Amino acid sequence: MEENSRSSVVVKIDFDGREYSLEAGKFAKFANGAVMVKYDDTMVLVTAVASENERTDIDFLPLQVEYREKSSSAGKIPGGFFKREGKPTDREILAARLIDRPIRPMIPKSWRYETQIIATVFSSQPDIDPDTLGMVGASAALMISDIPFNGPISEVRVGKINGQFKVNPTLDELKISDMDLTVAGSDTSIVMVEGEAKEISEDDFLLALQFAHEKIRQLNALQRELAQLISKPKRPYLEIQYPEELVNLIENTIKEDIENYIHTVTSKQERKEWRNQFVQKALETAVQNFGEREGYAEFNFEMAVANIVNEIEKKAMRRMILEEGRRFDGRGLKDIRPLHCEVGLLPRTHGSALFVRGETQALCTTTLGTKEDEQIFDGIFPVYTSRFMLHYNFPPYCTGEVGKLTGVSRREIGHGNLAERALKNMIPEQDVFPYTIRVVSDILESNGSSSMATVCAGSLSLFDAGVPMKKAVAGIAMGLIKEGDKVAILTDILGDEDHLGDMDFKVAGTADGITACQMDIKIEGLSIDIMKMALEQARQARLYILDVMNATISKPRDDISPYAPRFTSIKIPTDMIGLVIGPGGETIRSIAKETNTSIYIEEDGTVQIASSCKEDNLKAAQMIESLVRKPEVGDVYKGEVKEIREGLGAIVEFLPKKTGLLHISHIDHKKINKISDILAVGDKIDVMLIEITADGKYKLSRKALLPKPAQATYTRTPNYPPNPRPRP
């Protein structure tokens, strides 16, 4: 522990070879809690502020979490016209969710003061991802504040490199890692997991969590050390407790109805209608019995009754599952809802698929593009691109509701990212399949695990598009009901089971291993044995779903859609790249324009040519090959007359940007008095390269390709000497 002259407190430890420190009392002192987290040269300031006035009109925790990365933290100036940070990027939203999800369950549900946590990256070391520091800082800021908080909790990233687990691996290490898992937890349990992997086994997944938990405990101890030195007394707040007489009245009024309803009503819409009837019935009874009683004058009956009914339903549902092994829709604990798959539904898309699981529908499309369609990321890390992206849409009609379409929600960004991570490691490398790939998932109906339905539909649509994926991928959502020693693990949970249960555990993967996961646990004390059971149950479900998917389409189509761009690849010498590109890109642009193609040149000389027409690709390839072709004596070329020089010859361009002299004596076999009688500027003629001079000039011949004139035949009269004149 250190203290400086400004009364700040710093605690630090050596964390896997790097210094990890928490500093409080120096920055943002008006906040209820503020902590600067420093890990090597990366510094993240996290503040926690709660309003002074309690909200009595809401029945939820009013918590807002924001995460921002300053461009200056990496020594960069933001792009764009205004040159300043704007709305949060997808990366910042995903990082905020990694803070929100483990923090939210640790703040009491009865806390009704608007609370805001803001994590700001002020210094960024290029090889460290600062997102996990934001969550540790959020917990530490709450620990030292007056805001009630059941912490500490900490978060780390885990990789596996060359068979060894690594905590907070560098960005370069993550590129070769078998997994990229973000794990949050308290001293006793894991509370959140999210990440991707390269088909790891369930055993490896559990070992990674155990490794992460050891590191998490170290950071929790660091937070406790800080809180002991500088924390404030916790602010008192009122636990929300409804009058026992009101709870008993409502329970006696609807208990029998709810027992009947949870055993007979199986569809989501019917349950919604029945639930509304229960609430209305209970509300009328409550107002009739207590509306005029003393102490109930300003009582919010509507909110109270809705919460009491929800709690009664929750208890009834959990009892039915634990004691009867029966679920809302009549299934057993391990049963999967009816599955249905279709591909090729949308004829003008490059690939399409519909995946239906019970009352959840995902319609996915796959679109193939070129290199210019790659997504560019320009943030605190060096600029990079991605050639695979997945976007998830959750329109209001999928739950039978009316809502505004005002842009992409944080939930949509989070679900899309999870599905993308599930599929990305099965996408072929660029040298195998040079396309940029975009998958779009539109949820048409939602009753549980639409993100995992997106994984299944996305895999099917990629197969339908002819993308040579390494393997098919499926996903399943698992749930948990736990009361004391009684445990029930649920396969393929409904939306209600997610809401009323203790765990939402999404697992995606191939037949050979896990490719992505997301787990949120709402209770303490979840053992490794329970997680092992859940993973095995998820594996069995995943294999079953893959069998159904494979019955629809078991491998990628042999060819891509006729509406997708076609690629032609050629190789040119690296020292010729500049020639092909031309001054300011003039040459390559002119070839692309003339052939109606898109052309991309890699540093190794690989040229990718794309268009919707194969013939256009071949034409562009021929033009580029001609451009880089080295002239050789004896080769024949199709040239164009560029200039006539009477008495000397013609200047002919026989290769792009290469000209030679066609001497007058090599134009024709016959004598030519005037070259313009034979040739004109713009004429296309065949010529042969007959000489390359010492100074690199080219000499051409047209005559060498013309048939030789036939030899003239005639009878020659002998030239006898004259007869001597006879003598007289």
Are 410 and 541 contained in the same domain? yes
**What pLDDT, on the 0 to 100 scale, is given for residue 5?**
45
Distances (CA, A) of 375 to 371, 378, 388, 439, 585: 9, 10, 8, 13, 22
CATH code at position 587: 3.30.1370.10
Query: Of 492, 523, 552, which residue constitutes the final position of a domain?
Result: 552
Q: Is 481 exposed, middle or buried (0-12, 13-18, 19+ CB in 10 A)?
A: buried
> In the predicted model, what is the mean pLDDT of residues 116-132?
97
The C-alpha atoms of residue 11 and residue 593 are separated, in whole angstroms, by: 63
For residues 354 and 432, state if they share a domain. yes
Q: How confident is the model at residue 353 (pLDDT cuts 50, 70, 90)?
A: very high
Per-residue model confidence (pLDDT) at position 373: 92
Q: pLDDT tens across 200-228, in order?
A: 999 999 999 999 999 999 999 999 999 99
Among the listed ranges 83-92, 284-293, 440-449, which one has the minimum average pLDDT value?
284-293
Q: Is residue 720 part of a domain?
A: no
Give the tokens for residue 295: 């102490």
Q: Which of 207, 230, 253 is where one domain is finished? A: 230
347 and 399 both lie in a single domain:
yes
Q: Tell me the CATH number at 670.
A: 2.40.50.140
Assigned domain for 684 exists: yes
3-state DSSP call for residue 477?
A: strand
- The pLDDT value recorded for residue 102 is 96
Amino acid identity of residue 195, one-letter, is G
The whole domain housing 421 covers: 339-552
In a domain, 579, yes or no: yes
Q: Are residues 116 and 36 in the same domain?
A: yes
Shared domain for 488 and 609, answered yes or no, is no
pLDDT at 125: 95
- From residue 292, give the alpha-carbon distance in Å to each of 213, 288, 296, 301, 303: 54, 8, 7, 12, 18
Dump pLDDT digits (tens) for 498-545: 988 999 999 999 999 999 999 999 887 678 889 999 999 999 999 999
pLDDT per position as a tens digit, 49-65: 999 999 988 889 999 99
Q: Could you tell me if 359 and 268 are in contact, meaning their C-beta atoms sit under 8 angstroms apart? A: yes
d(CA 446, CA 582): 54
Q: What confidence tier does 717 reach under pLDDT thresholds 50, 70, 90?
A: low
From 166, 200, 230, give the residue that closes a domain. 230
In a domain, residue 104? The reply is yes
Number of domains forming the structure of the chain: 5
What pLDDT, in 10s, does the model give residues 289-322?
888 787 777 788 899 999 999 999 999 999 999 9
* Percent of all residues in the chain with a pLDDT value above 90, rounded to a whole number: 73
In the prediction, which pLDDT does 292 show?
79
Looking at residue 20, which CATH number applies to its domain? 3.30.230.70
In a domain, 723, yes or no: no
Q: Are both 458 and 535 inside the same structural domain?
A: yes
Looking at the structure, tell me whether residues 61 and 83 fall in a common domain: yes
pLDDT for position 7: 78
Identify whether 438 is part of a domain: yes
Same domain, 387 and 455: yes
CA 19, CA 35: separation in Å to the nearest integer?
A: 16
Tens of pLDDT, residues 153-204 = 999 999 999 999 999 999 999 999 999 999 999 999 999 999 999 999 999 9
- Report whether 453 contacts 360 (CB < 8 A): yes
The answer as to whether 91 is a domain residue is yes
Q: Do 603 and 653 fall within a single domain? A: no
Is 320 found in the same domain as 274?
yes
The per-residue DSSP string of 192-208 comes to EEEEEEEEE-HHHHHHH
- Residues 373-391 pLDDT 10s: 999 999 899 888 999 999 9
Whether 581 and 651 map to the same domain: the answer is no
Contact in structure between 158 and 166 (CB atoms under 8 Å): yes
Which own/partner pairs from 241-246 qualify as long-range (CB within 8 Å, at least 24 positions apart)?
242/304, 242/307, 242/308, 243/290, 245/290, 246/286, 246/290, 246/304, 246/308
713 part of a folded domain? no
Asked if 47 and 140 sit in the same domain, the reply is yes
pTM, entire model: 0.87
Partners of 609 in beta bridges: 568, 599
Decide if pLDDT at 629 tops 60.
yes
228-259 per-position pLDDT tens digit: 999 999 999 988 888 899 999 999 999 888 88
